[in-house]
Amino acid sequence: MTRISLIALGAFAIMASAICLLVLLPQAMLGSVQAPPGLAPYTAVQLQGRAVYMREGCIYCHSQQVRDPSFTTDVDRGWGTRATVPADYVYDRPHLLGTMRSGPDLINVGQRLPDLDWHLIHLYNPRSLVQWSNMAAFPYLFEEKAIAQLSPTDRVINIPGRDAASTTAIVALPDAIALAEYLVSLKRQYPVPAASQASDQRVGGSHDAR
Amino acid sequence: MLPSSLIVIVATALFTLGAALMLIWGWRKGFLRDLDAQSRVIFDDRDWRLARPWESPAERAEREREFGVSLPADKGEWGGAL
Amino acid sequence: MGRRTVSAPDATQAFGATALEAGEVSAVATSRGLAPEDLDVRLRADASSRTVVLVLFSVAVLWLLVGSIFGDIASIKLHWPDFLVQQAWLTFGRVRTAHLHAVNYGWATAALIGTSLWLMPRLVHAELKGAGMALVGGVLFTIGITVGIVAVLMGYTDGMEWLEAPRYAAGPFLVLGGGLVGLSLFRTVAARKAPHLYVSVWYILGAFIWFPMLYITGKWPTWSGVESAAVNWFFAHNVLGFWLTAMSVGAAYYFIPKVLGRPVYSYQLSVVGFWSLAMFYSLNGMHHLVGGPLPTWMITTSIVASVFMFIPVVATGINLHMTVVGRFGALRYSPTLRFVVLGALAYTAVSVQGSFTALREVNRVTHFTHWTVAHSHVGGYAFVTFVCFGAMYYIVPRAVGHEWPSAKLIRWHFNTVLAGISIYVIALTAAGVAQGMALLDPATPFEQSVIRAMPGLYGRTLGGLILTVGHFVFAYHFWIMLRMPRGVPRRSRPPFHDAQPVLYTREAAAAHGAPAQEATS
């Protein structure tokens, strides 16, 4: 090896071909995926909540994907009724599929836990609702206000076990409400068109179960 | 689906072919010959002659036969201790 | 003699000078038909890269400390979740990201760029071209990393793992900084005087070609949906293989033969290893998404490529390990060799583990668990960081012109980081398996996956804290090194050569005929 050009061009060509195969080719194939009729675009407040989800790094403990029942037990665990497909994510920018489950999967959390207040309390202090939880608490998304100074628009949350005689109340800030709105919006239960499921979407399915 | 990505498939094939051709070209030009000398390009004369504290007497004698009398190593010659 | 002094003003204090000054240079030259240029070239090469290397190493060590502290905080938060929750910037999700960026892009990248800048002139027998350019590049890169980490802590993120640093705030600094360093390296190679490009050169040049391609692909702002997941893991996997691994393997290919004084076991294999690494590693990324909502052929491609990784790993492994075989005694004498050889072993281990983890049957247990985090630390720490430590133990004395003042601190450093990473990996791997088995059984409630992983999470914190102690020891030693007057060993400390390496006595040295050390400088 005495030529820079051999190394440089060879290295470039190999990486370029990998980019073609694993980035550009899928882009060409997946670019045409249409949103299923049952999937609504995110609303402004849900998008704000999604930004909070990214900002606080929820992805490092929560995934947003259900894998095929023939491969794992995600469906048995009640995290969804079917495996998620590319069409479920067309409005996700960027994706939040995640690679860690220190906490449960969230792609259908709106189905399991539809109560906004539950999420607000849980965000303020997870252990007030789930004793074994090791999730981070997010008290900074809330404000402690004197009850006398509450305004009608304030969203007060009732933390279980908090002193009832307290003269202050816990008020959810807009970011907390947006995050909770985003969480309860997460539902991927509608039927997906057969085409998008069958074409190349047999995830971990029988045909290549090694 | 496939036709829309035909260009990408062709590009992938071309790039792979390109990489293969580069290797063949390099081989024909002789870049892969004389590998033994290539592997010794990081050494200078001193490297061969430095006495290494972990050498056995036999190893040392062989090295000296090939490269000449041993030179003493500097402090910290081996990176860190000694 | 005079020529060398003129051409490399500081060279008289550098290693390798004393032996020939002892009046042997003419004997060498005549008996072997060699001119003293050999040494001259090397000393000038070292002198040309000194400043930029020391600056980058200093930056790297600072990031190592910062990254360790962030890592410890993140680790503690997983078992004491109410620890430091009042401040937004200290929440788990941000601190974890700051840790990842600080250690990968701050510490490892700066240390490896510094190592590459030091190696390249030596490898091509020329001076570093554009050393000032490289220095500016290194500073810009550091600014980019700092901007990225501060942004993440403040809550600005691009949202994809390994790519969180905002593209429009940190990106320009990283691209420009990395580009300037790369330009300096390419100019150096272009001015080469060596007859061949050694294998380390391929890896370093490859890294500087691959990283820009990966970074631009990963940061391209139009990806969405599952496609962004594919891009995400294409980048995040390859940045290890084509950036950190490439430069680390390049360094290992230099230091192991250089210290041992014997060429690599088989140079043919290094050719095979390099090109097959490029071929197969580049297709590995999708194995982070096994079972995910991506086209099956993508994931299958990556699984197959992951298994094919055995080819480059075995080729590189044979080369690096067989070079050492029969010379393991040298590890007692050379901290550089100790760190680099252990790093090379970890490279083989982590690669084999990675190939197996990609298999669906293994992956259904280990995916989404702490196993992956443990795995990444075998690669990022036991391999890459160990190689960085080894390289720095070799390079820093040659850059500042005097030896490390304390063998004891080196021993402390080595022992703590080895113990720390062992505890870390064992505890977290066990936690991952326990978590994965619990998750895979639908009859087991989810909480069991948290509870059963808990002992491992405490173990990880213990390991991490021990690592941090080791890092502070190393940073302290490095700091002393920089503060000592250039080229003059400090007399108030015991002379370094009086210190004994681990498991080694002076009597044994005498028995082996080790040459007496003369305090010439």
Mean pLDDT on C437-451: 95
What's the pLDDT at C166?
A: 95
ipTM of the complex: 0.91
Report whether pLDDT(C11) > 50: no
What's the pLDDT at C502?
A: 39
Please tell me whether residues B25 and B47 are part of one structural domain.
no
Mean pLDDT on C385-392: 98
- Residue C389, chain B, CB below 8 Å: the answer is no
What's the pLDDT at A200?
A: 44
Q: What range defines the domain where residue B56 resides?
A: 42-72
Write a three-state SS string for C312-379: HHHHHHHHHHHHHCCCHHHHHCCHHHHHHHHHHHHHHHHHHHHHHHHCHHHHHHHCECHHHHHHHHHH
Please tell me whether residues B24 and B50 are part of one structural domain.
no
Confidence of residue B82 (pLDDT cuts 50, 70, 90): low
Residues 6+ apart with CB under 8 A from C52: C114, C117, C128, C131, C134, C135, C138
Mean pLDDT on C452-460: 97
Exposure string (b/e) for C89-102, b if CB count within 10 Å is 16 or more?
Answer: ebbbbbbbbbbbbb
Q: Is residue B17 part of a domain?
A: yes
Q: Is residue B22 part of a domain?
A: yes
- Measured between CA atoms, the residue of chain C closest to residue A75 is C442
> In this structure, are residues A47 and A41 in contact, taking their beta carbons and an 8 Å threshold?
no
Does residue C221 or residue C22 have the better pLDDT? C221
Mean pLDDT on C213-228: 93
Rounded-to-integer distance, Cα C323 and Cα C345, Å:
12
Exposure string (b/e) for C13-51, b if CB count within 10 Å is 16 or more?
Answer: bbbbbbbbeeebbeebbeeeebebebbbbbbbbbbbbbe
Cα R_g (chain C), whole angstroms:
23
What's the pLDDT at C484?
A: 85
Cβ contact, residue pair C517, B67, below 8 Å: no
Report whether pLDDT(C312) > 70: yes
Instruction: Sort out which chain B residues have CB atoms less than 8 A from A16's CB and list them.
Output: 15
Mean pLDDT on C418-434: 98
Rounded to a whole number of angstroms, the distance from the CA of C215 to the nearest CA of chain B is: 20
Q: Please state the φ and ψ torsions of residue A157, each to the nearest 5 degrees.
A: -115, 145
- Residue C371, chain B, CB below 8 Å: the answer is no
Q: Is residue B13 part of a domain?
A: yes
pLDDT > 70: percent of chain C: 86
Rounded-to-integer distance, Cα A141 and Cα A124, Å:
8
What's the pLDDT at B68?
A: 87
- Residue A14, chain B, CB below 8 Å: the answer is yes
Mean pLDDT on C54-80: 97
Report whether pLDDT(C519) > 90: no
> In this structure, are residues A15 and C214 in contact, taking their beta carbons and an 8 Å threshold?
yes
- Residues β-bridged to residue A145: A169
- Residue A30, chain B, CB below 8 Å: the answer is no
Sign of the CA dihedral with C290 first, then C295, C300, and C301 last: negative
> In this structure, are residues C500 and C97 in contact, taking their beta carbons and an 8 Å threshold?
no
Instruction: Sort out which chain C residues have CB atoms less than 8 A from A33's CB and list them.
Output: 225
What's the pLDDT at C36?
A: 52
Coil, strand or helix at C489: coil
What's the pLDDT at B8?
A: 64
What's the pLDDT at A205?
A: 37
> In this structure, are residues C225 and A86 in contact, taking their beta carbons and an 8 Å threshold?
yes
> In this structure, are residues C131 and C91 in contact, taking their beta carbons and an 8 Å threshold?
no
In tens, the pLDDT along A24-73 reads 988 888 888 889 999 999 999 999 999 999 999 999 999 999 999 989 99
Write a three-state SS string for A57-102: CHHHCCCCCCCCCCCCCCCCCCCCCCCCCHHHHCCCCCCCCCCECC
Considering only the beta carbons, identify the residue of A1, A13, A25 that sits closest to B8: A25
Residues 6+ apart with CB under 8 A from A81: A75, A189
End-to-end CA distance of chain A: 40
Report whether pLDDT(B40) > 50: yes
What's the pLDDT at C411?
A: 94
Considering only the beta carbons, identify the residue of A17, A54, A77 that sits closest to C157: A54
- Window 353-372 of C: residues touching A by CB (8 A cutoff) are 359-361, 364, 367-370, 372
Rounded to a whole number of angstroms, the distance from the CA of C437 to the nearest CA of chain B is: 39
Q: Is residue B20 part of a domain?
A: yes
Which uninterrupted H or E stretch holds A9?
helix A4-19
Mean pLDDT on C1-7: 34
Instruction: Sort out which chain C residues have CB atoms less than 8 A from A30's CB and list them.
Output: 225-227, 295
Mean pLDDT on A158-177: 90
In tens, the pLDDT along C232-252 reads 999 999 999 999 999 999 999
Q: Is residue B77 part of a domain?
A: no
Q: Nearest Cα to C323, choosing from C372, C264, C378?
A: C264
> In this structure, are residues A177 and A156 in contact, taking their beta carbons and an 8 Å threshold?
no
Please tell me whether residues B24 and B2 are part of one structural domain.
yes
Report whether pLDDT(A202) > 80: no
Cβ contact, residue pair A204, C296, below 8 Å: yes
Please tell me whether residues B28 and B48 are part of one structural domain.
no
Confidence of residue C200 (pLDDT cuts 50, 70, 90): very high
Cβ contact, residue pair A10, B26, below 8 Å: yes
Q: Output the average pLDDT for chain C.
A: 87
Does residue A149 or residue A197 have the better pLDDT? A149
What's the pLDDT at A192?
A: 84
Please tell me whether residues B1 and B27 are part of one structural domain.
yes
Report whether pLDDT(A172) > 50: yes
Residues 6+ apart with CB under 8 A from C248: C112, C343, C347, C383, C384, C387, C388
In tens, the pLDDT along A117-129 reads 999 999 999 999 9
Three-point CA angle C171, C55, C497, nearest 5°: 145
What's the pLDDT at B80?
A: 75
In tens, the pLDDT along C109-157 reads 999 999 999 999 999 999 999 999 999 999 999 999 999 999 999 999 9
> In this structure, are residues C185 and C207 in contact, taking their beta carbons and an 8 Å threshold?
no
Instruction: Sort out which chain A residues have CB atoms less than 8 A from C186's CB and list them.
Output: 4
What's the pLDDT at B81?
A: 60
In tens, the pLDDT along C345-382 reads 999 999 999 999 999 999 999 999 999 999 999 999 99
Q: Is residue B46 part of a domain?
A: yes
What's the pLDDT at C14?
A: 44
Cβ contact, residue pair A16, B15, below 8 Å: yes
Write a three-state SS string for C129-142: CCHHHHHHHHHHHH
Q: How many domains does chain B have?
A: 2
Cβ contact, residue pair A71, C449, below 8 Å: no
Q: Please state the φ and ψ torsions of residue C285, each to the nearest 5 degrees.
A: -55, -35
